[in-house]
Chains A and B, each alone.
Chain A
Amino acid sequence: MSRKGGSSTLLREFPDFEETMQSLAAMERMPRGVVEECREAVALARRFNRTVARNYALELDRRMQEDPAYLPWELVEEANRWGFFTMWIPKLFGGKGWSLSSIAPFVEELASECLAITNLIGVHYFGFSILAATWNVRLIDMISREVAEGERTGKPCLVSGAVTEPEAGTDAEEVELLARARVRCQARRVEGGYVVNGRKIFISNGHLSTWHILIAYEDLERPDETMIAFAVKNGTPGFSFGRMEKKMGQKGCPASELVFEDCFIPDEYMLVAASRLEEMGLLSRAARKAERGPRELGMQLIDFVVSATRPGVGAMGAGVARGAFELALQFARETEVGGKPLVNHEWAQCLLAEMYVNAALARLSYMEANYANSMHGMARLLGFKPLYYYHRALPTSVFDRFMPAANRRDAVTTAFRLLVVAGQGEEQERVASGWASLAKVAGTDLGVRNCQLALELMGQAGLRHDRRAEKCLRDAKLLQIYEGTNQLNRLNIFKCLVAPAAPEAQVFQD
């Protein structure tokens, strides 16, 4: 055996070297401009925190406790003025086209001040991610341009993502479970479109959004094979808002019920349908491997989205881990215990160091997942150096002149789907999704942990609303639940990253 050949085989054994070292592989491929963009994004978030969030966060939380039905439009408008809702929409579609790698550090920074505000801004990109994952270029272009128009005119246009149903939460995050799920949101094919009936719950920003990216199912007996996505605009007859939840934390970001009663959605707002892969130009990948069909496409769609968004939730965990750490540090500096500042007690120094470590570990995890997603996920093409620089250098106006017309053509959608959707290998899907879950679980558990530690250190002071720490804990707990509970994410880590070492293992069978 030659030495060289020998090592590469060795390195492919579990745990696969490339798979465990995402950053090493990513570094050489990464355009240098990305670093600068990350810097600028964090600086911008810091500026926003200082000028807006710091004062407003507590006031908003208090206000929501008093009046849980309050809708914080002034926050939406402020974030809109800061340009946050188009920053990560590609220029191709009328956005500002910041590198997707810069969103997670931005999110961490915002989250170090207030998770509710962070979610209100971040979840717009969750909605946008579902839209983008369908690679329906015509609709992505149309809705993105409305978001950009809303920014110009000062009339915010946000996008929500509606997946969860009263009887299907975890089940909606994984096709294996979806196959057995009790979903109720049904899209029935009719002349010229679909009629949708059902309810979606816990939809972040529901009441504040203009567009809602809706996941429904054509056959409730076979939801895993008949997933279908729509773009639904406010005012569509048959679509209305239901209740707003009373949450423990992240109060500034509403969680809404969306109600669909014989809601007619014309064909032109259908984004993608798993049952009609051929028409969608999505069969080529399935054809390559006989066992990949509508169900696999459904999972791929879910994985596209969560591989992009779960590292973001991990970054929120890193942010709140930092926020709690910073409050604890400040407390330790201000508080005298036994005749000297708390910060001079050795045990407190070790505790603060542990909290610093927790925040750093959370950050490392989401960065690693970010690398995985930028190499393997749905926006991996934008990371190619030539494309990256081309996209970054050209002013938006140039894109605006040519792209809308092109984007309206079905051929463009087909081409993108071929490249991005069909072109993604199963390995790529697996690695991006696994790392995303890892970052989500690690970041959110560490985030909650640091909040617990901060409150322990601060005692009575930590309990007071006006000292901020208690809000961190209330806000942070949600991170372990949405974007798939940490249990579902652990199972996904097993499925994606561990099971290759145990090929006989069956997941979701128990």
Chain B
Amino acid sequence: MIGMSEELRLLEGMARDFAHKELVEGREERDRYPFAPLFEEVLAKAHEVGFFTILSPEETGGAAEPVQALCLVLEELCREDASLGGAVFTAALSQELLRQSGSEEAFKKASAGAASPREVLPAFPSFHNPSDTPLSLQAVEEGGAYRLTGKAEFVVLGNVASLALLPAGSADSGWSLYLVDLRGEGVEIGEPLLSLGLHACPAVDLLLHGATGELVGEEGKGEGYFEAAVDRLSVAAAAASCGVMKGSFETALDYARQRIQGGREIVNWSEVRMILSSMAVRAKAAEMLVRRAAAAVDAASPGWALASRAAALQVQEAATEVTCDGIQLLGGNGYMQDYGQEKRFRDAKQLQALLGTAPLRKLRYIRRVVDGERPWA
């Protein structure tokens, strides 16, 4: 790869080893959550090696790595199990939002001590852009403090983390971000949601009844912080999807080499090769796109924000198709939980919704171009 530093290469290798060691065995059982225990042990180990604080500044105990590093880690983890990827992404996203809002205090609070993943993982509704639809959660100021009331849907890690970063509307225009202590008063945590994919990366609905929220950054500026975070982290979402795609292809290729139908290994039927090829090509294109876009983000080279967003839209959609073929090539077995392919298909489709619905992200992308932002030099 162009320009991958020795340091990044090491990190990539480390993430790959971690994925092999921790994410393969027991994957199907872990994916039964909420009908099986949460993979706390894996979360703890991932925290130990620093996956939840890759982007965080060093003062707060983070690694202050570039976005490229986050991308490599996500790609490697998601090759084996995107659930952990979902947790890593959500942690990075909420930390990025705190950083964008310039609220170091809040940041320190969110990562203070950082003895366990619960403390470094501010929960966040990562599958939604709060600007897309009217927010149910509303904040009211009462003597310098904010009281939050309403429903926050699909808050990722909401039943794991001790803090949540929640978007809430207020009487004036715009929405703001608030840090909420999930163990505090007036917070009702719903049952873990049953979702399409990323089962072991739980999400819950939260009901808030006048719970205390700490304003993060300035009031009414939520949208600005969020879009800035999306600029930087869209490519990380793409990296997660890219990893899932690679895992799906690798499993399909292995299977096609062994499975015999019509008197030969199915890899020797040319139609099977055609399907394998279109999977491989899309996965390779995704890898190149992600790495190029991530490097652009880190270098802040011209058009980096649009590059990051384009990568997400393109790679996420490709992943939903590649993983569909990834099931297909295993026939009936692909549809069963024993081979990991059905999980990848579900995970890829769920990952496509990261940071808001694809059509609205597409419209936002083109709005910026129409308004004069240049996608290329």
Contacts and interface: CB of A to CB of B under 8 A. Distances in A.
B251 to A, nearest CB: 15
B261 A168 contact: yes
A510 interface: yes
B95 interface: no
A159 B56 CA distance: 61
B144 to A, nearest CB: 32
Contact of A460 (B125, B197, B272, B338): B125
B26 interface: no
A182 B268 CA distance: 17
B133 A336 contact: yes
B194 interface: yes
The A contact surface, by secondary structure, is helix
Contacts of B195: 463-465, 470
B345 interface: yes
B221 interface: no
B335 interface: yes
B194 A473 contact: no
Contacts of B324: 448, 477
Interface stretch (A32-40, A304-312, A390-398, A478-486): A478-486
B260 A248 contact: no
B335 A478 contact: yes
Interface centre among A249, A448, A459 (most CB of B within 10 A): A459
Contact of B320 (A337, A452, A490, A510): A452
Contacts of B134: 336
Contact of A485 (B35, B125, B331, B350): B331
Interface residues of A, number: 55
Interface in B114-158: 125, 127-128, 132-134, 153-154
B83 interface: no
Contacts of B346: 248, 470, 474
Interface string A218-251: 0000000000000000000000000001111100
Interface stretch (A42-50, A169-177, A401-409): A169-177
Nearest to A456: B358
A180 B262 contact: yes
A477 B357 contact: no
A222 B209 CA distance: 72
A171 B264 CA distance: 11
A181 B262 contact: yes
B262 A170 contact: yes
A491 B263 CA distance: 17
B336 A246 contact: yes
Contacts of A247: 335-337, 342
B261 A171 contact: yes
B357 A456 contact: yes
B2 interface: no
Contacts of A482: 332
Given A248-B342, A248-B346, A335 B133 contact: yes
Nearest to B36: A66
Given A180-B263, A246-B336, A65 B353 contact: no
B196 interface: yes
B156 to A, nearest CB: 10
A168 B263 CA distance: 10
A184 to B, nearest CB: 13
B196 A455 contact: yes
Interface string B313-357: 000000010001001100110111110001001100110110011
Contacts of B270: 510
A306 B342 CA distance: 26
Interface string A427-471: 000000000000000000000100010011111101111100010
A389 B76 CA distance: 66
Contact of B262 (A177, A245, A463): A177
Contacts of A470: 195-196, 346, 349
Contacts of B320: 452
A466 B204 CA distance: 13
Contacts of B332: 164, 169, 201-202, 255, 481-482
Contacts of B275: 487
Contacts of B358: 456, 459
Contacts of A351: 359
Contacts of B338: 246
Interface in A118-163: none
Contacts of A477: 324, 327, 335, 342, 345
A347 B363 contact: yes
A167 interface: yes
A333 B358 CA distance: 18
B194 A465 contact: yes
B193 interface: yes
Interface centre among B32, B197, B352, B357 (most CB of A within 10 A): B357
B33 to A, nearest CB: 10
A508 interface: yes
B360 interface: yes
B277 to A, nearest CB: 14
A167 B259 CA distance: 8
Given A247-B337, A248-B335, A481-B334, A167 B359 contact: no
B271 interface: yes
A227 B32 CA distance: 41
B119 to A, nearest CB: 26
A62 interface: yes
Contact of A177 (B127, B261, B334, B336): B261
Contacts of A347: 359, 363
A180 B264 CA distance: 9
A308 B16 CA distance: 49
Nearest to A338: B132
Interface string A312-340: 00000000000000000000000111000
Contacts of A168: 261
B194 A464 contact: yes
A171 B345 CA distance: 26
A202 B338 CA distance: 14
Contact of B337 (A169, A248, A448): A248
A219 to B, nearest CB: 16
Contacts of A66: 35
A248 B345 contact: yes
B353 A460 contact: yes
Contacts of B353: 455, 459-460, 462-463
B349 A170 contact: no
Given A337-B133, A448-B324, A481-B332, A456 B359 contact: yes
Contacts of A201: 332
Nearest to A487: B271
B154 A463 contact: yes
B196 A246 contact: no
A136 to B, nearest CB: 28
Interface string B153-177: 1100000000000000000000000
Interface in A172-225: 177, 180-182, 201-202
Given A452-B349, A460-B154, A477-B345, 16 more contacts: A66-B35, A167-B260, A170-B261, A202-B332, A246-B336, A255-B332, A335-B133, A455-B353, A459-B360, A460-B357, A470-B346, A474-B346, A478-B335, A481-B331, A485-B328, A491-B271
16 contacts: A202-B332, A246-B336, A246-B337, A247-B336, A335-B133, A337-B133, A348-B359, A455-B352, A459-B127, A460-B153, A463-B154, A465-B196, A466-B193, A482-B332, A490-B271, A508-B262
Interface of B: 32, 35, 125, 127-128, 132-134, 153-154, 193-197, 260-263, 268-272, 275, 320, 324, 327-328, 331-332, 334-338, 342, 345-346, 349-350, 352-353, 356-360, 363
A-B pairs, top 4 by smallest CB distance, nearest first, are A180-B263, A459-B357, A248-B342, A465-B194
